Chains A and B, each alone.
Chain A
């Protein structure tokens, strides 16, 4: 059975949900960047690599959501 394309209201609901999620993730990344910079300037290099990995994962998550939204519009 072919999948019905999402209606406009459905897409609007999805984009609002995604927007909220992406906003939270970006705020988390911003906090992570400031905390990592503070630690780096203080000579604490133990957090630098894990923080970079977490930030890349957050970016991948956000890009994945954006790609999903584009798929939804087709």
Chain B
């Protein structure tokens, strides 16, 4: 192991070809590189731990979502309040979950979460164009399906399942989709 004490210059050339200052400030470059790589590996293992913690966090959130169960059935509007081609914002299932309801025909309504699936900006319905528009990054969603048709969003808007009973419109659940 005697070679481990020798100072090796970066270009590994003989000592007599090295500048004079290297004798005063000797650095063992191979050893230095070894320590650097080892420390980088430690950092990568730390990153690996952070990524694993992130996965566990998602698993925890998934468990919480399942534990909450199905959202309640709730009356959200009356057909009389909403003309054909009109829209209104309501909260479902929690008070901070804004959703948008659009009446597309006399007895046909659609409802979606108002949060854009890109960066959670509020989408604005444009029934005359058949789209929901996200003004933040010019995202467009199809009004009939909630699927993204332009801009950065890649997932459809969560669909609020609605039911019309008589003149009343009820929200009865949420359908979250990847496609």
Contacts and interface: CB of A to CB of B under 8 A. Distances in A.
A23 B44 contact: yes
Contact of B59 (A12, A18, A48): A48
Interface residues of A, number: 41
Interface string A25-42: 110011011001111111
A8 B30 contact: yes
B7 to A, nearest CB: 13
Interface in A1-51: 5, 7-9, 11-12, 15-16, 18-19, 22-23, 25-26, 29-30, 32-33, 36-45, 48-49, 51
Contact of A66 (B37, B42, B58): B42
A74 B21 CA distance: 33
Given A5-B1, A42-B176, A45-B66, A58 B45 contact: no
Given A19-B37, A40-B62, A58 B178 contact: no
Interface of A: 5, 7-9, 11-12, 15-16, 18-19, 22-23, 25-26, 29-30, 32-33, 36-45, 48-49, 51-52, 55-56, 58-59, 62-63, 65-66, 69
